[in-house]
């Protein structure tokens, strides 16, 4: 139990990290990490906000870019992801 809160878990008798791995963020496009308090300890990574692909030169009247949110938490914490993605 203590190791689960510190980012470790046991799989097949081996200790494994629970770290989420992803490609580098494109911060100039507004991508960011989303944090929330899933446990009662430190803030936890709950998702990543990605920008959707846009053409290099959008036409007039075209909608601005939208963001997609990739969630890393179970369904019981989806409300935290929605709040953090605003």
Residue 31 lies in a domain: yes
Residue 8 lies in a domain: no
Residue 27 lies in a domain: yes
pLDDT at 18 over 60: yes
Q: Percent of the chain, pLDDT > 90?
A: 0
Residue partners of 85: CB distance under 8 A and separation at least 6? 34, 47, 49, 67, 69
Residue 2 lies in a domain: no
Q: Domain containing 39: what range?
A: 23-84
Residue partners of 62: CB distance under 8 A and separation at least 6? none
**What is the pLDDT at residue 2?**
46
Residue 37 lies in a domain: yes
More confident: 2 or 15: 15
Q: Percent of the chain, pLDDT > 70?
A: 76
**What is the pLDDT at residue 55?**
58
Residue 3 lies in a domain: no
Closest CA to 66 of 24, 34, 31: 31
Q: Count structural domains, the chain.
A: 1
């Amino acid at each position: 139990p203590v190791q689960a809160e510190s980012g470790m878990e046991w799989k097949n008798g081996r200790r494994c990290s629970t770290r989420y791995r992803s490609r580098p963020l494109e911060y100039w496009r507004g991508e960011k990490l989303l944090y929330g308090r899933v446990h009662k300890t430190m803030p936890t990574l709950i998702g990543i906000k990605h920008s959707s692909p846009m053409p290099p030169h959008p036409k007039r009247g075209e909608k601005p870019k939208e963001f997609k949110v990739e969630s890393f938490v179970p369904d019981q914490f989806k409300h935290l992801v929605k709040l953090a993605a605003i």
